[in-house]
């Protein structure tokens, strides 16, 4: 089973996936990106960090099942991330990549994570972004929400424990069906 998590930036997808992995056996698909590594990130665990030239080389080798330019950087999922894994595979991808994957493969399950605008603005401020950036991200969030119908489930992230339990319920139901 392949589950694609998506939703506006700042809704808490990574935290949710990290908590889910503690509760259920899951394989987290590791993407390639050209963006700078953050201080708390680990190469090969959070992402494979590559240069733009390396990323373009991988595109030409048809290495990716999907890739997108998001902001100023490229993000892509290697085909190898979805092969021969013995557990449920989870992906964290932005909405364009997610809808492409979901529309091309009816077996993929899409979960759109959302939060209230007020909370999203608070989180973006906490990440140190200025007002112009936040306005752009809010406009993008509304555009992303307009594609919600491409997803199988919509989960509002009000508090992390409830969200994780709601997703575990979804996974259990999927496993039983």
Question: Which residues form the interface with ligand 5GP (CB under 6 A)?
Answer: 9, 13, 31, 35, 66, 68, 70, 75-77, 92-94, 97
Helix axes 13-23, 160-176, angle to 10 degrees: 60
Residue with smaller CB distance to ligand 5GP, 83 or 176: 83
In angstroms, give the least distance from the CB of 168 to ligand 5GP.
20
CB closer to ligand 5GP, 89 vs 175? 89
Distances (CA, A) of 173 to 55, 113, 126, 166: 37, 18, 35, 11
Residue placing its CB nearer to ligand 5GP in the complex, 40 or 60: 40
Minimum distance from residue 83 beta carbon to ligand 5GP (Å) = 15
Residue 7 C-beta: closest distance to ligand 5GP, Å: 8
Nearest residue to the partner ligand 5GP, using Cβ: 97
* Residue 151 CB coordination number (10 Å): 21
DSSP string, 118-164: HHHHHHHHHTT--HHHHHHHHHHHHHHHTTGGGSSEEEE-SSHHHHH
Exposure class string for 105-125: b at 16+ Cβ within 10 A, else e: eeebbbbbbbbeeebbbebbe
DSSP 43: B
Nearer CB in complex with ligand 5GP: 76/110: 76
Closest separation in Å from C-beta 131 to ligand 5GP: 19
> Minimum Å distance from CB 93 to ligand 5GP?
4
Would you say 91 or 172 has its CB closer to ligand 5GP? 91
Q: Number of helices and strands (H, E) in the chain? A: 6, 9
């Amino acid at each position: 089973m392949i589950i694609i998590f998506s939703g506006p930036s700042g809704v808490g997808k990574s935290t949710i996936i990290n908590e889910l992995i503690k509760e259920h056996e899951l394989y987290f698909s590791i993407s390639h990106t050209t963006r700078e590594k953050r201080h708390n990130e680990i190469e090969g665990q959070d992402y494979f960090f590559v240069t733009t030239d390396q990323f373009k080389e991988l595109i030409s080798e048809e290495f990716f099942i999907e890739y997108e330019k998001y902001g100023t950087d490229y993000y892509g999922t290697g085909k190898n991330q979805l092969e021969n894994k013995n557990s449920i595979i989870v992906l964290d991808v932005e909405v364009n990549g997610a809808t492409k994957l979901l529309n091309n493969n009816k077996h993929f399950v899409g979960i759109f994570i959302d939060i209230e605008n007020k909370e999203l603005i608070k989180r973006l401020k906490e990440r140190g972004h200025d007002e112009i950036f936040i306005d752009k991200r809010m406009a993008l969030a509304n555009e992303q929400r307009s594609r919600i119908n491409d997803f199988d489930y919509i989960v509002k992230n009000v508090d992390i424990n409830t969200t994780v339990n709601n997703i575990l319920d979804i996974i259990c139901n999927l496993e039983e069906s």
